[in-house]
Amino acid sequence: MSERFCLDGKAVLITGASRGVGAAIAVEAAARGAMVTCTARSTTAAPKRIPGTINETVDAITQAGGRAIAIPADLTSPDDIERMVAQSVEQWGRLDVVINNAAVTFVGDVDIDLKRHDLIMAINLQAPLLTVRAALPHLKAAGRGRIVSLSSQAALRPVPGLMSYGMSKLALERMTTDLARQFHPDRIAVNCFRIDIPVASEGTLANLGDVDLSDWEPTSVPAEGVLWMVEQPDDYSGYCESMWALRHREGIMESRAEKEFAKKPPLLFLQGLHDIDTENAFAKDARKAGE
């Protein structure tokens, strides 16, 4: 077993870092001494409907004494992906860690508009693959690297209204296990962090009505778990870890909610119809998001 991976002095690129878990990861990585590149479409010059920009994330980091830059990027554009990686390496002189956090979803099942389905796949699955391709030469040059992608409980549980989203996340987990084996000889660990405890991110809250948030965690909690995965030794690779399971197995991500989420999520791919009549908060949230 090799030594743990230290973030101090390392260059970290995080997609979807304008808000939510991505922004929380960026802030915490910088606090641990990393040089952080925050990428997303939302900027001060071109803000989106949901609050949060990469410039605000960078400001929070630099005001705390950390090092960070903002690089706008449209992850549906292969050229933009190549450019964001190149500019990050140009700024820091290296690249050590890639966090594939950005994701989108639209409500729909078999009848989902095909353009929306394609967009989900482009951002949630193809963009992480293209980001890894662009980053790989630089991760190898660093001599040691880390890739962590963020998944969802929807990868394992069929959620009404989130079929395409769940498909993209399950495929992302499968890609993780392949990449881990391909990159292990280069000391590049590849893992996936599955959020299966409710997290109060800006994107999620913007699409919800009046819901009970008493057992929802702030974004700093999953950020802690993602960076725990980054800092593990090289042989910790090829894992698709549940946030819930990591909390209980490793004693990390202590709850900061009013009350701790107690319902154990599925840890393996859920098959059959045995839970079809079970009240599903995720499905209710998906329906509300589409109203």
Q: Which domains does the chain have, with CATH numbers?
A: 11-289 (3.40.50.720)
Q: Report how far residue 276's alpha carbon sits from residue 283's, in angstroms, rounded to the nearest whole number.
A: 11
Q: Using an 8 Å Cβ cutoff, are 164 and 120 in contact? A: yes
End-to-end CA distance of the chain: 51
Chain segment 112-169, per-residue pLDDT in tens = 999 999 999 999 999 999 999 999 999 999 999 999 999 999 999 999 999 999 999 9
Average pLDDT over residues 170-191: 98
**Which residues are designated catalytic?**
165
Instruction: State what percent of residues in the chain have pLDDT above 70.
Output: 91
Sheet holding 35-40: strands in order across?
Answer: 67-72, 35-40, 11-15, 97-100, 145-152, 188-195, 240-242
Q: Give 60's contacts (C-beta < 8 A, 6+ positions apart).
A: 23, 27
| pLDDT for residue 100 is more than 80 | yes
Instruction: Band the pLDDT of 276: cuts 50, 70, 90.
Output: low
Chain segment 182-227, per-residue pLDDT in tens = 999 999 999 999 999 999 987 776 666 677 899 999 999 999 999 9
pLDDT at 291: 37
pLDDT at 273: 84
